[in-house]
Amino acid sequence: MNIEHYISSGIIESYVLGLTTPEENAEVEKVALEHSEIAAAINDYRSTLESFGSLHAATPPSELKKKILDAIGNAVQEDVRIVTPVPPDMPAKTATPVLRNWKRLAAAAAVLLIVSLAVNGFYISKYELYKSRYTALVESQQQLVAHNQLIETRLDKMQADMEMLMNPAMKPVELKGVASHPNMVASLYWDPNTRKTYIGTSNLPAAPLGKDYQLWAIVDGKPVDIGLYHPKGKSGPVEMKDVIPGKVQAFAITLEKQGGSPTPTMEQMYVIGNI
């Protein structure tokens, strides 16, 4: 089980907030018993929420109390102003208490409704605020995880490049500019055992529109295509095609039509390096 992936998936945050299903609750609790790292993550997130709630705790606004008291006063005054007729077939002594109780219940219900609406409106606004903050925290965590994964990928690439360069069988080849491009240069690494080839750094300009650079190996006196090369936007050695069996005398880079050419255009050669 990938514990780091499980922790970063968001299931722990949802579990602590009570947003998971009973099946997911059972799964999280089972995994927490089996892995102390996950149990620690649950406790850490609970502590974070408690600290967050204490830091951002809000007291209901002072005007809320005044609104409630005013509503109660208005309801009582309305009760006093009501004149209740007594039905002809009901004795006055019986009707008055019944109607009075009904008016009191209606007034109390009205007050409770007003209080409920005021309190609910206040806490709903706070809920929306904290929900947006929680969403921002989750998005920030996801961005951090993605950034860490990108860094890990780059580190893995750097380690692989270092291992390739430190391989005793790897032979460095310097490709120098020809007479028409005297300032051009490129570095190449060639492993005669595996027949693998890598292009390192170069100062070749970006290929013109509709053109591509193409790497060639001169094998037994004949040029062999090793693939297209795009100098811009590359970091670290770029692996090219494996060289076919035979004696390799040199490597060269030419500028060809987009997509490459079956044979090199000698007039468009930029750099060449002999073995």
Give 187-235 pLDDT, tens digit per residue. 999 999 999 999 988 999 999 999 999 999 999 999 999 999 998 766 6
Strand order in the sheet with 196-202: 222-229, 211-219, 248-257, 269-274, 171-177, 185-191, 196-202, 238-239
Its sign, for the CA torsion 150, 153, 159, 160, is negative
Q: How confident is the model at residue 260 (pLDDT cuts 50, 70, 90)?
A: very high
Is 192 in contact with 169 (CB distance < 8 Å)? yes
Q: What is the pLDDT of residues 64-111, one digit of tens each?
A: 556 655 655 655 455 445 444 545 554 544 445 555 556 566 666 666
What is the pLDDT, as a whole number, of residue 145? 79
Question: Residue 217, Cβ neighbours under 10 Å: how many?
Answer: 25
pLDDT over 80 (residue 53):
no
Q: What is the pLDDT of residue 95?
A: 45
Of residues 147 and 261, which shows the higher confidence score?
A: 261
3-state class (DSSP) for residue 42: helix
211 CB neighbour count, 10 Å cutoff: 14
Q: Is the pLDDT of residue 238 over 80?
A: yes
